Each structure stands twice: as structure tokens, then as C-alpha cells.
Amino acid sequence: MRSTSRSLLRMIQLSVVAALLFPCSASEYEYWKSDTYDGGRSYGKPHQCVDIPDELRLCHNVGYNQMLLPSLLEHETMAEVKQQANSWVPLVHKNCHPGTQVFLCSLFAPVCLEQPIYPCRWLCEAVRDSCTPIMAAFGFPWPEMLTCDKFPQDDVCIAMTQPNATVSPQTGDYSPICPPCDNEMKTDAMLEHLCASEFAFKTKIKEVTRENMDRKIVLQKRKKMLKSGNLKKKDMKTMVLYLKNGADCPCQQLENLGNQYLIMGRKVDQQYLLTGIHKWEKSSKEFKKAIKKMKTYQCPVFDNVFK
């Protein structure tokens, strides 16, 4: 009986994996409290199968149209799922690993089955190892709620590629450009950088130097504030930004210190990190659109997710 049950689960796994292996084109994609894995969580509310809403941007075109609620991350309402999941959309856009969306959606929007199926531990590890450097550049650690040891290793699980397959962060669509420096004149990218930031202002750069594996960016004193966050005037006058782990990756914006830039950042520990830098280009329709949207744009609540 146990053998028959495991065979059935294996068939379910194959059908789920097949669905996840052939989603709509990846080019159509727009840009974390759990305990240990127990083979199926007992929910406070009975789980139900619901349509994946259009507002759940993270899981557009993931390969299936319905999901279980509550999620495998214990989100009991769709509003909670959307708020938490949409914070991860920018990471999918960075193309740090081809399995990022499948891994995240298997937790935020699990496929409808009688027994919930978790992602494989090796898939979690592959996504974590490829995407952690991107997240670190913005000052976000890999969250405890996605600790890979919580997920199954030798049991039924959601897969995407072979466990021994290696994916280099330098292959495919991934760009070696420093994460805060990429997609300079795309409105969506600028807004995503803004949402990962606590402050934003217009200014010039005085000096750029290397400090260990980071780049140290000294700014001109004069700044035009666009988003102040918790910054005080004295912080503004003496501010030095760091491009985390950016000593060797390309950042075209830091090569011409004569330009004015839209600078975005956030404070992590005792350092101010550069999270976005875009040339102040009034002639660009994309740039003008982004600056206008910044005044009213509602960002996902990153601090609730990246802990």
C-alpha cells in the first residue's frame, strides 16, 4: 500500500514538474514564517483551490492558473499573498537563476493538489546561491523563512532542472553589470530600485574609490531630495555611499563624474548602500515618466518580507 501511495505521488510530481517546465515564454515576465518541512502543513483554515489573480504579478505565466490558499508560507488571505509575493518580482526580473519564479510560486501560489508539494531542497539551494549576491547588493539577506534545510531532499518535491545541473549567474539573460547600475532608462526598473531604497535625491558624484570588495562613492554636498526616508540634514552633508561587492562589476554611471544623477540608497548596519543610480536625463521619456510616478507610486512592503 505504501509503495502504491509513493508511486501515485511520484506521478503527481511528474505532472507538476511537466507543468512547470513548460510555462509561457520567460520573456513575458514583468520585474518570506515557517517551521520544518513535515510533508504537508496543517492549516488554521481548510485549504481551497482559487484562481491566481492578475494582481499576483510574481506568478504570471508560471504554468498553471489555480493555487492553494492558504499558501505554503501560511498566508491565509489573497491580500497577504499579494503583498508579500509582489516584493519578490524585482528579483525575478534580475534573472539570477532560471528557477527563481518556479521556486517562489511553489510556496506563494502552490499548485492545486490534495497534498501540498514543497520545492526540492536542491532547487532552493540553487536559487539561493545564484540570487543571494543580487540581494546583498541591495542590503537584503536571504530570509530565514526560506531556509533550504526546511525543504524535502529525497521525497516528492517541485523540481525544474536536474539536481546536479549547474547554473552560472553569468549565463543566460543575467547581466554582469552591478545590480544597482543596470537598466538605466527603463521606468519599471527605476521604480523597482526606488522601492528597494529608503531615500533618493539628485546630485553629482565627487569621487569614486575602491575599498576592499566595495566601491566607495563620495557625493557633492548639494543635493535635491526626492525621497527623504529617515535621513537628517547632517546625514546628507557627510554622506558616503558604498556599492556593495561592486569593486569589479561594471557600472557605466560611475565612469563619468561630470553628470548629474538620480541616486538611491538605504542604510544597512552603519553603511549607506547604493541601490540605484540613473543619469539625470530630462530628454528621456522613460526617465521623466519615472520621476513623475515616484511622487505617488505605492511600493511593496519589503521590510515585511526580507528578514
Query: For residue 51, what are the domain limits?
Result: 2-150
How many other C-beta atoms are found inside a 10 Å radius of the C-beta of residue 54? Answer: 7
Tell me if 27 is assigned to some domain.
Answer: yes
| CATH number for the domain that contains residue 216 | 2.40.50.120
Q: What pLDDT score does 109 carry?
A: 94
Q: How do strand 214-227 and strand 66-69 relate by DSSP bridges?
A: unpaired
Residues 142, 209: one domain?
A: no
Closest CA to 73 of 109, 123, 120, 121: 109
pTM: 0.72
CA-CA distances (angstroms) from residue 299 to 83, 192, 196? Answer: 10, 8, 9
Clarify whether residues 216 and 118 are in a common domain.
Answer: no
Here the CATH number for the domain that contains residue 109 is 1.10.2000.10
- Report if residue 164 sits inside a domain: no
Work out the number of other CB atoms within 10 angstroms of the CB of residue 242: 19
Q: What DSSP element (H or E) covers 267? A: strand 260-268
Q: Are 236 and 223 in contact (CB under 8 A)?
A: yes
Residues 6+ apart with CB under 8 A from 258: 204
For position 306, what pLDDT does the model report? Answer: 46
Are residue 189 and residue 93 in the same domain, yes or no?
no
Number of neighbouring beta carbons within 10 Å of residue 25? 7
- On whether residue 173 sits in a domain, the answer given is no
Q: What is the pLDDT of residue 300?
A: 66
Domain total of the chain? 2
Contacts of 165 (CB under 8 A, 6+ apart): none
Task: Check whether residue 33 and residue 120 sit in a common domain.
Answer: yes
Same domain, 143 and 13: yes
Specify the pLDDT at position 22: 32
Check whether residue 138 and residue 260 sit in a common domain. Answer: no
Weakly modelled stretches of the chain, pLDDT under 70: 1-45, 161-175, 183-184, 300-307
Same domain (yes/no): 207, 75: no
